[in-house]
Amino acid sequence: MPVDIANYISLSTVIFFIGVIGVVTRRNPLIVLMSIELMFNAANLAIVAFSKLWGNNAGHIFVFLVVTVAAAEAAIGLAIVVQVFRRAKHVDLDEVAGLRG
Amino acid sequence: MNTPQLVIPYVSADYAALVPTFVVAVTALVVIVADLLTPKKMRRAANVAVGIIGLIAAGVLALQGWGHPIAAFGGAFVNGGFAIVFQEIVIVAAVFSLLMSYALGREDQSGGAIALMLWSASGAMLMAGAANLMTVFLGIELLSLALYCLCAMSSRPGARESALKYLILSSTASGFLLYGMALLFGATGSVALSAFANPPASSALFDIGAGMFLIGICFKLSLVPFHVWTPDVYEGAPLPVTAFMSVVTKAGTLAVLARFAYAALPSPHGAAIMLPVWIVAALSMIVGNVAALAQTDLKRLLAYSGIAQLGYIVASLAGTTAFGLRYAIFYLGAYTFMNLGAFAVVALLSRDRDEGSQLTSFNGLGYRQPILAGAMTFFLLSLAGLPPTAGFTGKILILASAVNAGFVWLAALLVVGTAISVYAYFKIVRAMYAQTTGAPIRRAVVPASALPWACVALCAVATLVLGFYPIVPSDVLPLVK
């Protein structure tokens, strides 16, 4: 039995907002980076579902590109977190508030 | 029997359209190899020279495509007057940033940093011609990922913290942008921007998608209220990287915004979708200039001034008229030169570990370095939009375009923002000519090389010439075939 497109999109919306809430509320940069990954992957799920719905294979290729970019983003993010940690000996986004807005 | 055929549907012209972008990306690899092969004494010079030669070659190659618009790779990359103008602006900004980074020395000009700057530039060049969601996303991420590294590569205090802040906020914005793209794809069934002009009946999905897409774009353009990261990142990053960011990210993202507004939106409905962007532009002009008043660090001041300048440029697109686009491109060109000129002056005042970006380092500069102070005054006049400069001409053109398109309120706010900005910029002029006591006066400037002087001179000449001969490219439309 085929699953209705609305289910995919609802799930993807829920995952996206879990990601947004994680970015806004959590103070540990590692958790924030994970939340950002959630946002990207929610978009991936939506793109694949829409790709199936429209029969347009461009969506599949798009998802591969997004997965690659997300991996690069995580690598750079972790590298910078390590660098900040070396200097500050702790990682907490509230403590990294030595900068004005 | 039916054998599957291997068909490569792309012709050499498709690849030719991407050659300038490839040249810049490959130059980055060459820089890394050159960094390994050259003896230590001439490594810096070799790295910068290879980078600049590659950029100039790319600029010349890009110009070859003028007058031969082509939609390469099934419309994924549209090479035409529009893309070429933006690519040339990116190349000019990258060349000036490399010159500044050579003069400043230290960690900013290792092979890795220069290669990252070139990759970032190639991302912006990809965005200039990107006409489908995939190329837009790839361009934005290539540009941003390289910049996160560049911001973190400085040993200055606060640099890594600001890089972390930039990475997290910018990636979140990318998340919104990507989810917006997913919804746009779902509403239209196509990734091509040109296919969005006639979305199917159910357009709530399209509207939400376009909204999230535009939030991501406004963040990358650092328009108010998505601007909070800008001053911190500008302050924390090395000076040449700040100069690079202030032009290249803006040029690339503006190209995407303009293509989206002009070529991807259905005509009656698109005006409603874009209205919030014009309001955001108006907010940026006011908030950016008011916040600039309070700054005592040149890099932070130029960050807020950049927010306001981008507000002017986006305001020029209001109503999506053909003239508006041409004037926006002209003002972007003027902004490139006056902004890079101001950054080059700051580079000349730099010392080891100390970037000379404090307002106090300008105290009495008018008496110690009259030529330098004169050039800075000229760039500030241009940023404030006073004659006889490119900034003045550009602002008049934008005012005309906004009024013509029926956005009189936007034109009025632009004038108010300009009036406020005069106070912010003239704080520096006052420090240079009137402030001879108070903070300790620094020793006379001894430039590490003539290169930043060349930057200042070239930018000043360009700002002056563009003020009298507003070269407005006429064949920037059509954006999407």
User: CB-CB: which of A56, A61, A100 is closest to B189?
Assistant: A56
Give the pLDDT score at B4. 57
pLDDT in tens, chain B (481 residues): 455 555 666 777 788 889 999 999 999 999 999 988 888 878 888 889 999 999 999 999 999 888 888 888 888 899 888 999 999 999 999 999 998 888 776 655 578 899 999 999 999 999 999 999 999 999 999 999 999 999 988 777 778 888 999 999 999 999 999 999 999 999 988 999 888 877 665 578 899 999 999 999 999 999 989 998 999 999 888 888 999 999 999 999 999 999 999 888 877 788 888 999 999 999 999 999 999 999 988 889 999 999 999 999 999 998 888 889 999 999 999 999 999 999 998 888 876 556 667 888 888 888 888 888 999 999 999 999 998 899 999 999 999 999 999 999 999 999 999 999 999 999 999 988 887 654 554 554 555 567 888 899 999 999 999 999 888 777 777 665 5
User: CB-CB: which of A12, A19, A59 is closest to B185?
Assistant: A59
Q: Residue B134 and residue A83: Cβ atoms within 8 Å?
A: no
**Rounded Cα gap, residues B478 and B75, in angstroms:** 13
Chain A contact set for B236 (CB, 8 A): 99
For chains A and B, what is the number of CB pairs under 8 angstroms? 125
Query: Which residue carries 């085929």 as its tokens?
Result: A2
Chain B contact set for A61 (CB, 8 A): 134
Strand partners, B71: B78
Cα angle for residues B57, B81, B196 (degrees, 5° grid): 125
Q: B138 in contact with A at a CB cutoff of 8 Å? A: yes
User: CB-CB: which of A20, A23, A80 is closest to B164?
Assistant: A80
Do B173 and B220 touch, CB atoms closer than 8 A? yes
Q: Work out the pLDDT band at A76, boundaries 50, 70, 90.
A: very high
Give the pLDDT score at B68. 82
Q: Work out the pLDDT band at A33, boundaries 50, 70, 90.
A: very high
Chain B contact set for A9 (CB, 8 A): 186
What does the H/E/C string look like for chain B? CCCCCCCCCCCHHHHHHHHHHHHHHHHHHHHHHHHHHCCHHHHHHHHHHHHHHHHHHHHHHHHHCCCCCEEECCCCEEECHHHHHHHHHHHHHHHHHHHHHHHHCHHHHCHHHHHHHHHHHHHHHHHHHECEHHHHHHHHHHHHHHHHHHHHCCCCCCHHHHHHHHHHHHHHHHHHHHHHHHHHHHHHCCCEHHHHHCCCCCCHHHHHHHHHHHHHHHHHCCCCCCCCHHHHHHHHCCHHHHHHHHHHHHHHHHHHHHHHHHHCCCHHHHHHHHHHHHHHHHHHHHHHHHHHHCCCEHHHHHHHHHHHHHHHHHHHCCCCCHHHHHHHHHHHHHHHHHHHHHHHHHHHCCECCECCCEHHHHCCHHHHCHHHHHHHHHHHHHHHCCCCCHHHHHHHHHHHHHHHCCCHHHHHHHHHHHHHHHHHHHHHHHHHHCCCCCCCCCCCCCCCCCHHHHHHHHHHHHHHHHHHCCCCCCCCCCCCC
Give the pLDDT score at A101. 46
Q: Residue A65 and residue B134: Cβ atoms within 8 Å?
A: yes
Percent of chain A with pLDDT over 70: 85
Class of domain A5-88: mainly alpha
Q: B372 in contact with A at a CB cutoff of 8 Å? A: no
β B77-79/B70-72 pair status: antiparallel
User: CB-CB: which of B165, B183, B185 is closest to A96?
Assistant: B165
DSSP string, A35-83: HHHHHHHHHHHHHHHHHHHHT-THHHHHHHHHHHHHHHHHHHHHHHHHH
Chain centre distance of CA B200: 34
Q: B149 in contact with A at a CB cutoff of 8 Å? A: yes
Q: Regarding predicted confidence, which is higher, A69 or B347?
A: A69
Q: B160 in contact with A at a CB cutoff of 8 Å? A: yes
Give the pLDDT score at B384. 94
Token readout for B314 is 């986006």
Q: Long-range contacts made by residues A66-74, C-beta under 8 angstroms, separation at least 24?
A: A66/A40, A66/B137, A66/B178, A69/A40, A69/B137, A69/B138, A69/B141, A69/B145, A70/A37, A70/A40, A70/A41, A72/B141, A72/B145, A73/A36, A73/A40, A73/B141, A73/B145, A73/B167, A73/B171, A73/B174, A74/A33, A74/A37
Domain ranges for chain B, please list them.
14-468
DSSP three-state, residue A3? coil
Q: Residue B167 and residue A59: Cβ atoms within 8 Å?
A: no
Q: B176 in contact with A at a CB cutoff of 8 Å? A: yes
φ/ψ bin of B5: left (φ > 0), alpha (ψ from -120 to 50), beta (otherwise): beta
Domain ranges for chain A, please list them.
5-88
Token readout for B392 is 């003045």
Q: Which of B288, B301, B299 is nearest to B244 (CA)?
A: B299
Residues B394-414 as b or e (16 or more Cβ within 10 Å = b): bbebbbebbeebebeebbebb
